[in-house]
Amino acid sequence: MIRVINALLAIIGGVGGALLLYWILNKLAEMLPQKWEERVKPWVFILPALAAISLFLIYPAVRTIVLSFANSTSTAWVGLENYTDLLGSRDFQITLGNTLLWIAVVPAVVVALGLGVAVLADRLGAQGEKLTKSTIFLPMAISGVGAATIWRFVYEARPAGEPQIGIQNAVWTALGFDPVAWLTVDTLRFNSFLLMIVVIWAQVGFSMVLLSAAVKGVPVDTLEAARIDGANERQIFFRVTVPQIWGTVITVFITVLITVLKAFDIVFVMTNGNFNTDIIAVRFFNELFRNGDNGRAAAIVVMLMIAVIPVVAYQVRHFRAEEAAR
């Protein structure tokens, strides 16, 4: 109850405080002469947001870049030593390789499954579509930690001869095999793929909702014209539907890609990066909070920011091109 009350007070205080701030600023602007009021008012409403962005985003980013050139305790400058040590470390190379593997697999699979479900669910009728989409979207309501906990039970392994509470091992032992500690099997990055399944399971609902809206927005006339011209359903899908929703496909892909770059909770809860499953966000956490190395942790964040910037820049350019084409 105390937590609920604290949450309500925070919401009321935050919203009420923002309303009060803007009301005061608006009153102060109205006290100025008409000419100055018109000039000042836009800045009155923009400056608090700019101040918040500067304080909570720009300043921490600049501070992080500065600390990436310092030692573990941020008491002396070491130049590029943190970057060279990380990039020359075999463990960090494995971390980068795993992160690249996640980038290559997860967004593509999420978009493909989301698009497939969006198209197929539309053919189930109103009730079937609602039930299917609600079921698939449900994992989006579960936190990353909750999803990881659920899937840890799926992959749970008990010694041979004991009851297997993990679904995967229950099926595996029923087929006559010995139980396997699935999350420790790093051959061909098998355990990393098992972790990816959790993210895919959680993100397909997001992809499905956006792509379903885009598919429903495709003009029926173009589909009917394609059928009249003799195109089959596969040709209609790939040559008519997909090109018209390509902008949404790219947007979903990039959004999931950024989510993958920031992925942390699922890997941290399930393996903590052990057994060659480490990814860059988990490595940052361990460097900062377990190893107490501020310099290396900051360097990892800077590398992550550098990796995200081209993706965001492409997304902005793509969005502007779409707006200009309308």
pLDDT tens string, the chain, 326 residues long: the values are 788 888 888 888 888 888 888 888 888 888 888 888 888 888 888 888 888 899 999 999 999 999 999 999 999 999 999 999 999 999 999 999 999 999 999 999 999 999 999 888 888 777 888 888 888 999 988 888 999 999 999 999 998 888 888 999 999 999 989 999 999 998 989 999 999 999 999 999 999 999 999 998 888 899 899 888 888 888 998 999 999 999 899 989 999 998 998 899 999 999 999 999 999 999 999 999 999 999 999 999 999 999 888 888 888 887 788 777 76
For residues 279 and 92, the answer to whether their CB atoms sit within 8 Å is no
Neighbours of 69 (CB within 10 A): 18
Supply the pLDDT for residue 37. 82
HEC per residue, 34-88: HHHHHHHHHHHHHHHHHHHHHHHHHHHHHHHHHHCCECCCCCCECCCHHHHHHHH
d(CA 26, CA 32): 10
Q: What type of residue sits at position 80?
A: L
At residue 326, the 3 state secondary structure works out as: coil
Q: Token pair for residue 41?
A: 């008012």
Provide the H-helix boundaries in 89-124.
90-121
d(CA 207, CA 282): 25
Q: What type of residue sits at position 235?
A: Q
Burial of 273 (0-12, 13-18, 19+ CB in 10 A): buried
Supply the pLDDT for residue 281. 92
Supply the pLDDT for residue 326. 67
Q: CA quadruple 29, 30, 32, 36: dihedral positive or negative?
A: positive
